[in-house]
């Protein structure tokens, strides 16, 4: 059978099994087994056992469950409401006023969470009722939250970055620091759009609260101290060379437990709930990673990645055209798969092509995170859309519509890091010195 025939058969098998509601991790393993059994001489069972064990026992991956658990602990604290109190006084003078709390709150929480869905849910839990009570339109409130929630993937620590780092054999610490400036850039783009919206719709922006003195603003800012200290402990230990990503994750868990205890929200029930919540999420991710590792091995034996890379090379695409094609590919794929599945499912095929085109894998990691962010707000499988639908009871199509401007801002961000790659590379370069 030709390469095209094999590819079509495996893609059909993939979507057929997915459509029958089988777990994604098991689907990937099943498609890999079909490929090896039919088109390879190596025994599929032996290969599956060795590959799944190897992917599951990776030391680098130990950071992942710890960061997931840290986010689950913080989700059950008063951190979100305290952040609103600390940020709100400083946002009153900006065009758009408290709408910027969505962006600033998501950017701050992203630095201690690593999950887009957790960031969106945690900040939405405190901001949406408050914005609605003060008279801000639902469309811009929900749209800005859905867009800003994606910062949970880009601003370190990031679960997707850990998954990509393991898949592409790229330093996770380097990926973390490379995501800082693009994350800040995207947050500024979001805030800039909110200012533009407020300028175009001044009648829809509620009046400012009573003005506070500088001393009063600083007093309210004391509520930001716990999260700032936690960010400094986690990211500072990595960038200072004191701890690895895994050790920093352990520091984050201890810090999150300490914050929860000080705030009085650390009970045996919340501890167990956070532990079980983190375990469930990590087991889902681990199963997907194991299945994807087996699928990557299977495709390697069949030779599909090499043939695809050669086919793309024969097309004569330059770097810009290749990245544009990948952007469109990932956005379409994001309509059917979650971000982690997108990364682990495609890396085995895409990376040889990217390397052959001379694209830096560290830069490409940030590119992938940005396009996966877009997938978080594209229906029908947009995780942030699901989170907000559950919180607001709105139609998912309406939520996607009000989020569309922030989708295009992410496209702008991709263009900026392409034409100014130093946005990604400057901080990792400084870290290497």
Label each residue of 356-376 as H, E or C.
HCCCCHHHHHHHHHHHHHHHC
* Residue carrying structure tokens 């029958």: 20
Residue identified by tokens 């030391």 is: 59
Is 187:103 a contact under the CB 8 Å cutoff? yes
Of the pLDDT bands very low, low, confident and very high (cuts 50, 70, 90), residue 381 is: low
Amino acid 222: pLDDT: 83
Give the range among 19-28, 306-315, 380-389 with minimum mean pLDDT: 306-315
**Which among 167, 77, 87, 84 has a CA at the least distance from the CA of 118?**
77
What is the predicted pLDDT for the residue at 2?
64
Average pLDDT, the chain: 81
- pLDDT tens track for 123-156: 787 788 888 888 889 899 999 998 888 888 888 8
Query: How confident is the model at residue 173, as a pLDDT?
Result: 85
Give the rounded distance of the alpha carbon of 79 from its chain centre: 20
Q: Averaged over 79-85, what is the pLDDT?
A: 72
User: Would you state the structure tokens that stand for residue 145, as one six-digit string?
Assistant: 């939250």
Predicted confidence (pLDDT) per residue in 286-336, tens digit:
777 777 778 777 777 777 656 665 666 677 778 888 899 888 888 877 766
pLDDT of res. 43: 76
Query: What confidence tier does 65 reach under pLDDT thresholds 50, 70, 90?
Result: confident
Q: What pLDDT shows up at residue 419?
A: 94
**How far from chain centre, in Å, is Cα 77?**
22
Nearest to 234 by CA among 262, 254, 257: 254
Tokens of 143: 């749209």
- pLDDT band at 119; cut points 50, 70, 90: confident
């Amino acid at each position: 059978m030709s390469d095209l025939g094999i590819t079509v058969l495996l893609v059909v098998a993939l979507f057929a099994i997915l459509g029958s509601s089988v777990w994604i991790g098991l689907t990937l393993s099943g498609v890999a087994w079909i490929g090896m059994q039919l088109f390879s001489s190596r025994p599929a069972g032996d290969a599956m056992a060795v590959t799944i064990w190897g992917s599951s026992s990776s030391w680098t991956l130990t950071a992942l469950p710890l960061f997931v658990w840290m986010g689950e602990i913080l989700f059950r604290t008063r951190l979100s409401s305290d952040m609103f109190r600390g940020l709100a006084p400083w946002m009153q003078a900006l065009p758009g006023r408290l709408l910027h709390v969505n962006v600033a709150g998501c950017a701050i929480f992203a630095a201690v969470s690593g999950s887009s869905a957790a960031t969106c849910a945690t900040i939405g839990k405190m901001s949406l009722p408050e914005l609605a009570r003060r008279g801000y339109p639902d469309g811009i409130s929900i749209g800005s939250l859905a867009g800003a929630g994606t910062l949970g993937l880009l601003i370190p620590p990031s679960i997707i970055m850990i998954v990509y780092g393991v898949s592409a054999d790229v330093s996770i610490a380097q990926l973390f620091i490379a995501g800082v400036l693009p994350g800040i850039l995207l947050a500024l783009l979001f805030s800039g759009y909110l200012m533009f919206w407020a300028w175009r719709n001044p009648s829809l922006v509620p009046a400012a609260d009573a003005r506070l003195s500088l001393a009063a603003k600083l007093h309210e800012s004391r509520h930001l101290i716990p999260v700032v200290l936690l960010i400094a402990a986690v990211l500072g230990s990595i960038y200072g060379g004191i701890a690895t990503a895994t050790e920093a994750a352990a520091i984050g868990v201890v810090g999150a437990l300490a914050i929860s205890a000080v705030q009085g929200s650390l009970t045996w029930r919340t501890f167990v709930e956070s532990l079980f919540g983190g375990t469930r999420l990590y087991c889902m991710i681990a199963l997907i990673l194991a299945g994807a590792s087996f699928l990557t091995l299977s495709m390697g034996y069949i030779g599909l990645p090499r043939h695809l890379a050669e086919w793309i090379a024969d097309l004569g695409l330059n770097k810009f055209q290749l990245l544009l094609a990948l952007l469109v590919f990932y956005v379409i794929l994001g309509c059917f798969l979650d971000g982690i599945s997108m990364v682990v499912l495609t890396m085995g095929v895409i990376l040889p092509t990217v390397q052959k085109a001379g694209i830096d894998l560290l830069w490409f990691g940030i590119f992938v995170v940005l396009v996966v962010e877009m997938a978080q707000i594209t229906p029908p499988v947009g995780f942030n859309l699901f989170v907000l639908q559950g919180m607001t009871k709105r139609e998912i199509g309406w939520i996607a519509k009000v989020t569309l401007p922030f989708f295009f801002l992410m496209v702008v961000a991709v263009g900026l890091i392409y034409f100014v790659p130093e946005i990604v590379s400057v901080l990792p370069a400084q870290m290497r010195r």
